[in-house]
């Protein structure tokens, strides 16, 4: 479970460049919730994920995960609770290490990492079985360097690695945005499968309203650092892109540049 209480985040506070990125966000995300997060550019989506992951500390408010107050915890300390997948497939893996070495590192998430002598054969078999489930042939390429993989293969591997040790929280920061539509769809389906299988508590930022509606059990729309919409269950299931847009305009009372949200 994630609990955010009165989160306020400024950038460059007190200067002419001051940005009020998160405006008193209070939010409780229950165990097993899969939340899609949408909002226009600069709405505060990544900042919100960063406040949860520890990339930024809030100026005010508290963050708790699984009952632990992690507000003052640095990012590395939160890593035992949180896994994060970014837009750039290059960020989640080490390109100069092999697939099995990357997976062996992922298996140590949040633990003290030493220089391993090599991957044990028992682990290798486990990795092979896990990779087989992706259906991408990576189970035959354990000794290939990750830098040789395509963006989609790499992002699939990153998803697997991020969830090898079940995280308390999975943060997906536009993790399919850099992929072609077909691959993006495959990674989304893989995401859904993993999240459902492990009953993960997850937040997924997307610029695609259709994805925001069809994935997850809860949808949050941010604008100017505030939560404009928070829908779950049946309310979310029955949503259409048209509804979502009209809700947005209603709450705002103005037409905003939503082009990027409508793309694809
Ligand atoms: N490190 C930073 N330094 C200064 N300003 C920042 C920083 N990170 C974010 N901001 C500002 O905070 C606001 C919220 O940014 P954020 O990246 O959270 O938005 P977003 O909703 O993720 O946008 P996008 O969809 O464009 O990625 C923006 O005005 C942004 O310019």
Closest CA to 2 of 55, 68, 59, 80: 68
State in Å: Cα 155 to ligand 1 middle. 23
Closest CA to 85 of 3, 168, 157, 186: 157
Q: Give rounded-to-5 percent helix, strand, coil for the chain.
A: 35, 25, 40
DSSP 54-109: TSS--SEEEEEETTEE-TT--HHHHTTTEEEE-SSTTSSS-TTSBHHHHHHHHTTT
At 108 the pLDDT is 83
Beta carbons within 8 Å of 28's beta carbon, 6+ residues apart: 1, 2, 3, 4
Question: Would the pLDDT of 251 be above 70?
Answer: no
- Of the CA atoms within 13 Å of residue 200, those in its CB half-sphere come to 29
Specify whether the CB–CB gap between 204 and 172 falls below 8 A.
yes
Specify whether the CB–CB gap between 99 and 131 falls below 8 A.
yes
Query: pLDDT exceeding 70 applies to what percent of the chain?
Result: 90
The predicted-structure confidence for 147-206, as pLDDT tens digits, reads as follows 999 988 999 999 999 999 999 999 999 999 988 888 899 899 999 999 999 999 999 999
Mean pLDDT (whole number) for 120-142: 89
- Helix, strand, or coil here: 112? coil
pTM of the full predicted structure? 0.89
Q: Using pLDDT thresholds of 50, 70 and 90, give the confidence band for residue 254.
A: low
Return the number of other C-beta atoms located less than 10 Å from residue 12's C-beta. Answer: 9
Query: Tokens in use for 47?
Result: 């900042």
Mean pLDDT (whole number) for 43-55: 96
Q: Using pLDDT thresholds of 50, 70 and 90, give the confidence band for residue 264.
A: very low
Average pLDDT of the chain? 89
Calculated CA dihedral for residues 140, 144, 147, 149, nearest 10 degrees? -20
Q: Using pLDDT thresholds of 50, 70 and 90, give the confidence band for residue 252.
A: low
* For ligand 1, atom 6: residue with the closest CA: 11
Pocket test for ligand 1, best of 9, 43, 203 (most atoms within 8 A of CB): 43
Least confident of 30-34, 132-136, 145-149, 217-221: 132-136
State in Å: Cα 205 to ligand 1 middle. 13
DSSP character at residue 20? E
* For ligand 1, atom 7: residue with the closest CA: 11
Query: Tokens in use for 172?
Result: 């997906």
At 34 the pLDDT is 97
Mean pLDDT (whole number) for 48-61: 96
- Is the CB of residue 45 below 6 angstroms from any atom belonging to ligand 1? yes
């Amino acid at each position: 479970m994630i609990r955010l209480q009165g989160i306020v985040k400024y950038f460059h506070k007190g200067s002419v460049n001051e940005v009020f990125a998160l405006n008193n966000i209070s939010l409780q995300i229950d165990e097993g919730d899969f939340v899609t997060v949408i909002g226009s550019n600069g709405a505060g989506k990544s900042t919100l994920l960063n406040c949860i992951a520890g990339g930024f500390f809030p100026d005010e408010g508290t963050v708790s995960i699984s009952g632990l107050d992690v507000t003052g915890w640095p990012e590395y300390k939160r890593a035992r609770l949180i896994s994060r997948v970014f837009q750039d497939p290059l960020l989640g893996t080490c390109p100069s290490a092999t697939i099995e070495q990357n997976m062996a590192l992922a298996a140590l998430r949040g633990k003290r990492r030493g220089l391993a002598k090599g991957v044990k054969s028992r682990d290798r078999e486990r990795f092979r079985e896990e990779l087989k489930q992706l259906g991408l042939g990576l189970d035959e390429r354990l000794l290939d360097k990750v830098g040789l993989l395509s963006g989609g293969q790499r992002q699939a591997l990153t998803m697997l690695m991020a969830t090898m040790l079940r995280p308390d929280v999975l943060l997906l920061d536009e993790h399919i945005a850099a992929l072609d539509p077909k691959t993006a769809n495959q990674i989304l389906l893989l995401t859904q499968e993993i999240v459902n299988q492990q009953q993960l508590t997850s937040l997924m930022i997307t610029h695609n309203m259709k994805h925001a509606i069809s994935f997850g059990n809860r949808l949050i729309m941010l604008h100017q650092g505030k939560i404009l919409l928070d829908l779950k269950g049946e309310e979310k299931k029955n949503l259409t892109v048209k509804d979502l847009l009209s809700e947005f305009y209603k709450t705002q009372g103005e037409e905003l540049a939503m082009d990027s949200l409508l793309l694809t």
